[in-house]
Every structure is written in C-alpha cells, then in structure tokens.
Chain A
Amino acid sequence: MTTTLETSLTAQGAEAPVETFDLKVDDVRALNKAIHQSANGRSFAVEHPGGKHSLAVGVNASLDVEINGHAGYYAAGMNQGGRITIHGNAGVGVAENMMSGIVHVTGDASQSAGATAHGGLLVIDGNASARCGISMKGVDIVVGGNIGHMSAFMAQAGRLVVCGDAGEALGDSIYEARIYVKGKVASLGADCVAKEMREEHLAELAGLLHAAGRDGDPADFTRYGSARTLYNFHVDNSSAY
C-alpha cells in the first residue's frame, strides 16, 4: 500500500488523507481489508484497477472510494454506506446487493448492474447491458444511456430510471418496482405495463434525476410497473408463465 499525502474533502467536510492502492503493486485483498477496517470519513483511491474483480466490496462505513479506471465483476458489491466512484466502465454485477450509499459509474456497465440491491443509489452515466436491476429490492438506479434486455426482471422494489432506450422484455414478472423510461422500449415483459405519470411520480422522478446530477424534464418519461395479474397463480394465465 502506498499512502500519499494528498487530501480530499470528505462528506463531513473534514480533511483526511487519501489512502492509495496501486493495483499494479498491491493486491485486491489488501485493499478490501483496509476498507473493511476503516472508520467513517476515510478516503481511498485505487490506481491501475485494470479490470480486476471485487474492488471495494463489502464497504461497511460512510467512506469514499475513487477507482481510477475500469473495474471487473462485482465492483462495490454489497456496498453499505460508501460513496464509490468508478472513473471508467464496470463489469458484471456492479453494486450487486447494495444496501445503502452511492455507486457512480462514469462509463458503461455490463450485465446485472445493481442486481438484487436493497437500497442506495446507483448512477451509470453511460449505458447498462442486459438485466440491469434484476431482482432489485429497493435500490434506485439512474442510467444516462440505454439498458439491455430483461432489465428489471422480477424487480421487487425501488426505482429504475432510463434516460435512453430499454431493450426487450423490460420488467418481466415485475413486482412493486417502478420504472421510468425516456426513450423507446423494445418490448415489455410479462405483466409489465405502461402507467400514468401522476404528480407524485413526476416529483419522485425529478428527485431521482437531481440526485444523479442529471437535467431533463420528468414529463418526457413514461412510467412502467406491474399489472399485478400474475401475483396469484391462475390456470387461465398459464400461457404467460
């Protein structure tokens, strides 16, 4: 580990030294261990991440991590309270099962971004691939570009905002999550329908766009959610399964 004397402004406004891990030299295990042992308010920088997997997973404090480059699978997995920025692209399952905190990807994200996440905010400035928000359980996801097929599959709770287009079978077998899409939707999955944008939805969406640092008129979006026809099994619906 190479600790530099740089300082950064933490969320608390106090100045704390940034601990830097250069993954050309340091290993991922040491990085994660140091993060796990850190108190609130600490800051970490990760140089030369080189697409390595499991970067900054299991964060369990209010701290900052800047990943300066591309990350592999499961970056920021199970984040709990951390503010993690990936200055690059993220691999499969970025912020999977996040509980709280913020994960920001400045580039594109691969499949299953935000999978099963229970809370927090995931912002992807670029595009997200297939299964974005699969089985999401309360997380908010804002994607600046497009999302791939089968996104929000079995999505249980939370909000998914898409500023571009959505791929095929959006929201298949969705439960109570809400989806807002600005562009085109290639097709809707089973039991997912377009719904009216009421005042509370416009306000909710405005808040989400603001949190993600994006402009845009909420009125340009369409809301999608569950028709709730598959909640209890009826034999007449068997062709929908």
Chain B
Amino acid sequence: MEFGLSNEHLMLKKLFQEFAEKEVEPLAAQIDEEEIFPRETVNKMAEMGMLGIPFSKENGGAGGDNLAYAMAVEELSKKCATTGVILSAHTSLGAAPIDQYGTAEQKAKFLVPLARGEKLGAFGLTEANAGTDAAGQQTIAVLDEETGEYILNGSKIFITNAGQAQIYIVMAMTDRSQGTRGISAFIVESDTPGFSVGPAEKKLGIRGSATAELIFEDCRVPKENLLGKENIGFKIAMQTLDGGRIGIAAQALGIAQGAMDETVQYVKERKQFGRAISKFQNTQFVLADLENKIQAARLLVYRAAWNKDNGLPYAVAAAHAKLFASETAMEVTTKCLQLFGGYGYTRDYPIERMMRDAKITEIYEGTSEVQRMVISSALLR
C-alpha cells in the first residue's frame, strides 16, 4: 500500500499551488463581488495544459491522470472555488463523456479543442422539473430523416459554464415511452441555430462561475453529434456524474483546506485577553477536529481518483468522497468563520466567501442525499 505521491504528482502539486497563489488568489474576491467569469485565468490554465489533464496526448490532453486533475481542482479551490468548478465542469462533464463514448471523428472535432483549452465544455441534464429525478426529462430530440439532423426542443437549467462554453453535452428524450431508457446524449455547439443561453443566475456562492439556462428552439444538431448510441444517454449521464463527483469532491476539499489555511494564520495573529486566540483550548480543539476531517476527506478524494486511474469501480468511492468532502467543507468554513468572529462575517476576509462557496458542493452533481442513496444501495445490494 502506497500513501505517498509520486515525484511527478509532487511537482504538479507545486505547480498548481504556485499558479493558484499567483494567478487565482489575487482575483478571487473581485470575481465573487462583481460576478465576473475569470476568462483570462482560464486562458492561462489552457496554456499550461490544465484543461486536458486526464486525456491522452493524441486527443490534445496532457497524458496525465485523474489524481493530478483532482489535485488541480483542489489547489485552485483553496483560493477560489469559482475557478475550481470551471475546471471541474469542463473536464469531467464537458470533455470526459466524449473521451469515453465519442467516435474517432467526434474526438478529433470536439475533444481535441476541449483538451487543448481552445474551447470550454459544459453539460446539460438538469431541467426545471427534472433535478434529482433526472428521468423526468422534457427536452426532446426528434430525428429528421430527410436532413439527417436531430431537432431539439426544451431547456436545461443551472448549467455551469453556460454562455462561456462552446461545446455542450446535452441530454434529451428520443423515446419518451422508454423513460430513462429513452434518453440520448448529444454534442451541441454554441453556434448551432436554435440554441441560446438565458440570463445568468444570481447565486449565493461561486458567483464568478457562469450559471444559466440553455434553451433549444428547433435546434438542429447533425446526426454525427449523437454521443454513443440512441437511448443510452441516461447511462452516459450517470457515468459522467460519477466522474464529476471526484472533481466536486476535490473542490470541496480545496475549499476546506483554504479555510483552514486562512484560519491557522488568523488565530495566531488575533489577540484577545492579552494573547493570541490560538492559545485557547477551544481554538485548538476545534482546529484539530476540522483538520482531522480534512485529512480524511483528502484520502477519500484521492482514493476515488486513484480507483478511476487504475480501472477499478469508482462510482461508490466518488459518492463517499463527495459526501464527506462537501459536508467537511461546510463544517470547516462555518466553524472557521466562528473563530474569525465579527471580522469573519465581513468581506474584508475571505472566510465568508468560502462558507458561501462551500454550500453548493452539497447540492450540485448529486446532492448529499443522492450520495447517500448511491452508498446505501451498494451496501444493501
């Protein structure tokens, strides 16, 4: 059993840390305050190959692995959870399904520019009346035999990277009578006529991340853009989310670690009753308990990524990682804010932003309740 990181992972971690400190941290408060998508940062990430970490070099990627990808999301999210989720949604939700299910032509046309970071990816499954109950899809796709195009109608909500992405993986019903077995996955380009993006959502956290509705009005998608086969879209979506959960778990881990780093520094400086508050046992015990959970979360997150890299089942491992890491992020940020006291409640310190950002990790890409369903169904099988 090996718990140490390899030399290349150590060097990558250092690289991600340096990038996060120099490029991501200085913008974090501003992009939150002004709800700006950090386009320049994403361009810099693309330049170093961060948008294609787990994909092969032939497909435009870095030839790396999911552990390095998870570490990248973690390090970015320590400083800015918005930047972390942009990478996670792009890699796990936009690009990975094409890597897994795409034809050679689809990979050349869509995966290569995604992995190189020339284009950004996104994923559309959720609808107004189909959240956790993904089977309730209303978006439909009808094949026009004459033109060889699918005609999509409907809408998707809460889509991360909406309006910023050029390539979307979209689920739509091709055979409504079959329920989840009647869903298909399509690759939709942003310039397709009939495709549009709604206004940005106003959110509690990850405010720099672009979240909006995708609207399909007689949107004609070429037959060649069907991903996998007809009617296997639900399986594609579920497997995609299994992988995505590793990214979100890594984001949650990063938020928790970032909050801990800020708090350790603060409690050493902040004086009350004539001494640093780090000298009080309440501070010490709270931090010890939180650090304990962060370390446990890291093991779960890295284990899930490692399983995926080694061809082992990872769906349940990813659910464990996401459930534990996201609840840890929420607890750590809330209790760390308490240690900051009144200052922590102000926007002069990053801790309130981290607490607002943490909440989404318990909700998107499967709520904590969904993760419990995944874990318990494996347990009670």
Are A and B part of the same complex? Answer: no
On A, residues with C-beta under 8 Å from B are none
On B, residues with C-beta under 8 Å from A are none
